[in-house]
Structure 1
Amino acid sequence: MFHAAWLRRALVLLLGFGSIVAALPQARPIPAHAAGADYFPETGHTLSGPIREAWVAGGGVWLFGYPISEPMRWSTRSGSTVIAQYFERARLEYHPEYEGTVYRVLGGLLGSDLTANRSDEPAFRPAEPSSAGGCVFHEATGHNLCAEFLTWWEREGGLPTFGYPISEPFEEGGFVVQYFERARFEHHPEYAGTRWEVALGHLGTIDATRRGLLETPAFARVEPQMAVTRVEVALRSEPAGGETLAVLSAGTPVALIGGPSWDAYRVYVDGRVGWVRFGDLTWSVTDDPRSATRTSLQMFDQALDARSAEISPLVSIGVYDPLTNQLFEGGSAGPIAAASLAKALLLTVLLKQAEQRGEIGVTDWDGTLIQMIEFSDNDAANVIWAAVGGEPEVRAFLDEQRLTGFAIPDPYDWGAISATAGDWAQFFGLLGSGQILSPANTAYVLDLMRDVLSEHRFGVITPGENLVAIGKNGWYWDDEPEFVVRVTSAGLVDSTEGPPGIAPLAVVMLSHVPGEYGTEWGASIGFEVQQAAVRYATVRWAEYYHRAGPSPAVRLAAQGGAVTSLSDFATVVSHAVTPWGR
């Protein structure tokens, strides 16, 4: 059965807790793509990361055309290496040195490259400023920009997208055209008064053809990456719910074509496009977090590292990246008791014990577990602590899983279970990737954590339209006299700007909160950690494409094989097209 967590919660509320307890141009492209991406069957290519964001913001298909390559390493005129992707009408380049500015994604200098030998033609010679009204003269290149072309240039992207004009308007190929450093404008009078009165010429296709790139690996058609459903799931019309389009059985391969959004991924399966919850899909990476390389938080995010240094005695921060099998750690607060995170541990121990007894699921405990995880009920946790056998059995589980950084200082108090944030990040990485529990139980745990009460979705697991952010949070009185409360926040976080595949970060923040700060302070630190994870998603994306294909450090194998037939894909996944076609 697929997990209808909302139904379980309704039963708990209705019946009550007690009644339920019983490159270079030759760079190798990535042969499959995934979440955080759009897939275009029209050309057989994908779009992701900062380039995807710039493409969408700039106008998408109607402005730039479809992608005709995968992202690749590209050497610029200045000698720097960027991530570039060809489109029918442009080459877009991600420049990390301009991160945080409007120039982080620039159009490639296609206009300049394609007209380098035309400087003696009349239209390309430096001109005098026009005396006509409605013109702007650009001294940088010695050319005018007037009328419809000026209006369109200013409205549709300006200097970062098109560059300066490098010619005056003239007739070419049956159109009045004007060349810019990064584009060629074409005037279409038949569309006068509409957005399509001016269009970009197909310089992306022309330049790729001129360079002989169309037969290189980066331009070969690819298929969307696959994932597999862990359990029977509902294919929904919206990421946060909507209409049930179909019910997919456990083990169904699905093509990942978008997301994440509101903790779900957009998929294609059997002629349908819909959304599947994050917890119900297999990950693309299953490295062992216990073998991770431990490194400084500075290597993760310098701003977060500086912030943690300011408050180091108060916090412990850990981030596990399954893509590179690295564990980033910061803060000097050391092991901190984290009762809310311990509830996720107790849930895992209960399910693991059931599996070892050969039992399928823990239906008898469903109501108690909902109370413990979704409602953060301590009485429910007391019941589960007793049910699993208390301290000896929890310690045995930790030993069996080789989670050596955990301590249980009080054999009668599950809330005293303590570890550093890095140790907790390893646990959540193991749990989320399915390395502790069966696929069905893994999905069950992740769905419970996704459905925690909205007021408990703060800090690391603050939900978002372009995010996966699920886990467990809590605050409680601190037993150390110099502090008032402890705030803990842990979960699995991924962003649409991240690399291909389902490979979320396991992110944990533990904090002691001085009395003058209040619980909101701890929650805000957790949110800062989440935002650092979102920033790091772009770093992961760029690092992925800087490599010439999968390597020992970057493994994103497709799950379930390739799509065998996409014959009807184009009719299902619709994209806007320009009136004049391609």
Structure 2
Amino acid sequence: MRHFMALLVALLIASIIIPSELTRAADSCYPGSALPSPCLSGTFQQFWEQNGGLPVFGFPLTLAALATNPDTDQIYQTQWFERNRFELHPDIVVANRVAPGILLGRLGVERLQQLGRDWHSEPHAGGPQANCLWFPQTSHNVCDQGFPYNGQGFKSYWQTHGLQRPGLDAYARSLALFGLPLTEPAMETNSSGETVWTQWFERARFEWHPDKPDPFKVLLGRLGAELRSGSIALAPAPTITQPLPSSTPVAAPPQPTPGVGTAVSTAGCSQNAPAVKDGAQAWVTLPQPAQNMMEIVCGRLTTNKTPLTGVTTTFGVHYPALDAFTDAVTDSNGEAAVSFPTGPVTSSTVITVDVEFATGQHAQTSFTPQ
């Protein structure tokens, strides 16, 4: 009986509140979509256009129709998109009054459940992290991806995107669009087969793509498409992965000089190593090596006291006459190492080394040949 009454309410909403355009062929169609009749109209079309369009929601996957919300077991007028699900609710609060309005499905929660992952059991942060957004409700930080992407990354994307809804401040708009973070960031393989720095939210999955132009370095996962297809679980980050795109800026990066550096075992990295701490670290085993010998440069990546394994790491050594770049992959200790020649250079010349992790984090060290 309760389900029947919910259906009656939904039918009343569909016939009285929803503009009639939602239930007939729409004017705005998107041939790039896989849907045979990929169209939007009425309230859903207006919402899609005003709140981010294609980059945020993706193409429509279905036409608007009545469907049951898995959280509430209530029936709403619903339309699926590549990255989200629109639901027309009769009683949301807009500008301090109750009125019909669109809410987004909690697709991040639903997709994690589909993958057999309980977000409550995911690792949590120990507390607020500097220069990040801290969410005490779920005990997670949301951070930018660091040098050289200051002002770019998950934090900036979360803060600069939100639903255009009257009466909400910027924080509440972002919360309405993405929800709270459910996980700490980690390397995960998405449904396209790309292994990328990933963080899950109630209504979205953020992915960091450092090889793409600035506006597209943060992309949203195709949660709607994944949920509807029931695609196989996202693969966990492998212990050793194929090299990921370098986090060197896209615009005119220095070209690697082949044959200068070599990825080596991290066994020698205990020499001159700093104490382990969260974030990116870099050091050399010999701060003042002799000329014409091989120097070992080490990098380490740790999050919440946990080493990050399988992260592609680019070591850039800046000699006076050239820049040399070599990649290595972090091991079970979160460490990677590369050997470089110390010269010949003028005695006491400081050689700086940039260590860039595919997660966007960066550290720097140096050595001074004698």
- Using the size of structure 2 for normalisation, the TM-score is 0.44
Task: Point out the structure with the larger strand share.
Answer: 2
- Using the size of structure 1 for normalisation, the TM-score is 0.29
Tell me which of the two structures has the higher relative contact order, counting C-alpha pairs closer than 8 angstroms and 6 or more residues apart: 1
Larger radius of gyration: 1
Task: Point out the structure with the larger helix share.
Answer: 1
